[in-house]
Structure 1
Amino acid sequence: MAMNLRLGPDAEAALRAEARRTGRSQQDILREAVGRYLGLLPSQVGDTDPLIAQGKVAPPRLPFRDVRPRLHLEPGESSLDLLERDDRV
């Protein structure tokens, strides 16, 4: 079945980022999500991220959000310039 789906800006950004990260198509990701939601596919957290399944990494507490940098460096300035001399490694 073919259909149109309108996503909000946050969902669109998250879908694009996940497609880039995994190398899968957006359509494939959405098909899997719908299948899991409807109970047609097993919903196992571990099958998508082995580190979560092994307990090495906790699953995200919040949904995806696109983080914008809050700090703008002047031309020629680096993040090391912002640290105190004692904090540098």
Structure 2
Amino acid sequence: MEHVGSTSVPELASKREPAWFEHRRFRDYLRSSQDARIEYEQLKRRLADQEWTFMQDYAEAKGSTIRALLAQYRVCVRNIGDRF
């Protein structure tokens, strides 16, 4: 039997779930694009300076930037292929 995700940790995505693949694509894009990496780093530094009552608020504050960077990734893949 192949283990493909967590069966004992609630909310941990299985490796077959779309969220897991999106996370991997985002990670790969940050590794391959210095501009994307710098943009994400600057965002995280700005957000780190703020007080957060709930960690989810911090995560949601990153959402629009992450979505924009993933859109850039998709454009790159369409233009040059998935070579990241």
- Give the structure-1-normalised TM-score: 0.28
- Give the structure-2-normalised TM-score: 0.29
User: Comparing both structures, which one devotes a greater share of its residues to helix?
Assistant: 2
